[in-house]
């Protein structure tokens, strides 16, 4: 095992808060493998980079010789974590949840070391918890205590709905920690309340409380909101390499360093020197390219990352040569001529004819490199093959 200082240096990278650092050091000093917990809500099947932040942290713990327990919250997912949510969330069926888990784990294993990993469903214990047991558990808490959770407090004060089941969420998550005797729980900063509830419950059960380690919430492509599927500002692990690369390139400069720290293994010293360089006038674009490459490589492999880079440079680089051939579409229409509306809908550039019309009339469409702003134009099958570009990002070629 590495020395305490070495461990701390690795562990603390990208972590914004530790509750408490003294407790952490105390545990590490014992020089035996710790149990690190991460709870997963299998509410969405696909993982995006935002999810990888705590997963990366887990991996670091694994590499240091600690044991990771991934808790699949099949029960908690039936409620849905209310943290940061301004309204109630739809409840998922149990089947849907189990279905999500499969897809989820496939992706999570790209980050975690399967050999040092336990995966447990919290249904394992919640299935057995009787109503009497539940009452006993719940009786440890008061309403005032729950209202310390900012999300609850805000909802309560603003008059938004606040379900009793939602208030049970942190309690359940805390109970998970008791059941697996967690030493450390990893989570985003939005997990603070839930993790601290775990500490409380462990203490109540006569256990040594877990340490909470909080990773920042990763901003999405817009640079403002947290990365999430519902906001559409995410980079998915299953995104095509060219998309992954391109999406990274489109993040605001301001969050680039952030991404480096949280999403790559690039040495902190190097990251800081890049930060310096940018301050002194270097073009952030070049560092962003490296970032895009690192990230794509991590999840898609080196070959794919190279492809993503090439694609990007062709499409948006200095001597722009849009790689129309990279996106090939077949003439799958039942007829020999189609309207522009049909074309744009077929390639997902427009949601409706009206939408398509707007785009065309505003000069967003190019066919065979020629701007086409006549919405009434008809495209004949005999014109194949032809290239098109709709807006900045959607382009391709139609072939027979």
Partner RNA sequence: GGGGAGAUUCCAGAGUGGCCAAAUGGGGCAGACUGUAAAUCUGUUGGCUUAUGCCUUCGAUGGUUCAAAUCCAUCUCUCCCCA
What are the residues binding RNA (CB under 7 A)? 156, 159-162, 222-223, 242, 245-247, 249-254, 283-285, 288, 312, 315-318, 339, 341, 351-355, 357-359, 362-364, 376, 390-394
Nearer to RNA, 61 or 311 (CB): 311
SS3 call for 399: strand
Q: How far is the CB of 340 from RNA (least distance, A)?
A: 10
Mutual angle of helices 284-300 and 241-249, in 10-degree steps: 150
Residue closer to RNA (CB basis): 140 or 229 = 229
Nearer to RNA, 40 or 78 (CB): 78
CB-count exposure of residue 31 (10 Å: 0-12, 13-18, 19+): exposed
Counts for the chain of helices (H) and strands (E), in that order: 17, 13
- Shortest distance in whole angstroms from residue 22 CB to RNA: 39
Whether the Cβ atoms of residue 392 and residue 250 lie closer than 8 Å to each other: no
Which of 36, 256 has the CB closer to RNA?
Answer: 256
What minimum distance in Å lies between the beta carbon of 97 and RNA? 24
Q: In this complex, which beta carbon is closest to RNA, that of residue 267 or of residue 286?
A: 286
Nearest approach, Cβ of residue 327 and RNA (Å): 12
Distance in Å, CB of 399 to RNA, minimum: 23
Dist CA 60 CA 237 (whole Å)? 19
Q: Which residue has the tokens 């035996």?
A: 32
Least distance (Å) between residue 382 CB and RNA: 18
How big is the CA angle at 250 (ends 245 and 254), to the nearest 5 degrees? 120
d(CA 292, CA 283): 15
What Cα–Cα distance (Å) separates residue 26 from each residue in 1, 34, 197?
Answer: 16, 11, 20
For RNA, the closer CB: 94 or 377: 377
């Amino acid at each position: 095992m590495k020395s305490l200082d070495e461990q701390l240096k690795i562990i603390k990278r990208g972590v914004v808060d530790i509750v408490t650092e003294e407790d952490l050091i105390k545990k590490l000093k014992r020089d035996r493998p710790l149990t690190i917990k991460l709870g997963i809500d299998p509410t969405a099947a696909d993982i995006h980079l935002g999810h990888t932040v705590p997963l990366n942290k887990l991996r670091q713990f694994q590499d240091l010789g600690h044991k990771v327990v991934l808790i699949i919250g099949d029960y908690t997912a039936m409620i849905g974590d209310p943290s940061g949510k301004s309204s109630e969330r739809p409840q998922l069926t149990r089947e849907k949840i189990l279905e999500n888990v499969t897809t989820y784990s496939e992706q999570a294993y790209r980050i975690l070391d399967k050999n040092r990993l336990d995966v447990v469903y919290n249904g394992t214990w919640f299935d057995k918890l009787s109503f009497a047991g539940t009452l006993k558990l719940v009786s440890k808490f008061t309403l005032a205590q729950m209202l310390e959770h900012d999300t609850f407090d805000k909802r309560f004060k603003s008059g938004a709905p606040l379900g009793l089941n939602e208030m049970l969420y942190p309690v359940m998550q805390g109970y998970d920690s008791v059941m697996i005797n967690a030493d450390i729980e990893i989570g985003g900063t939005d997990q603070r309340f839930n993790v601290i509830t775990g500490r409380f419950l462990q203490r109540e059960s006569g256990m040594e409380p877990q340490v909470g380690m909080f990773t920042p919430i990763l901003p999405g492509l817009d640079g403002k909101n947290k990365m999430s599927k519902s906001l559409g500002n995410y980079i998915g692990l299953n995104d095509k390499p060219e998309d992954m690369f391109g999406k990274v390139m489109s993040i605001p400069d301001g969050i680039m360093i952030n991404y480096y720290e949280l999403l790559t293994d690039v040495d902190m010293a190097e990251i800081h020197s890049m930060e310096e360089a940018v301050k002194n006038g270097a073009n952030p674009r070049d560092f962003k390219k490296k970032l895009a490459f690192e990230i794509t490589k991590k999840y898609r492999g080196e070959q794919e990352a190279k492809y993503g880079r090439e694609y990007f440079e062709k499409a948006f680089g200095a001597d722009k040569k849009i790689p129309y051939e990279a996106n090939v579409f077949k003439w799958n229409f039942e007829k020999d001529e189609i309207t522009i509306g049909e074309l744009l809908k077929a390639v997902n550039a427009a949601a409706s004819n009206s939408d398509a019309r707007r785009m065309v009339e505003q000069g967003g469409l190019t066919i065979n490199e020629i701007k086409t702003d006549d919405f009434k134009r008809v495209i004949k099958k005999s014109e194949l093959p032809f290239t098109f570009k709709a807006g900045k990002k959607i382009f391709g070629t139609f072939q027979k």
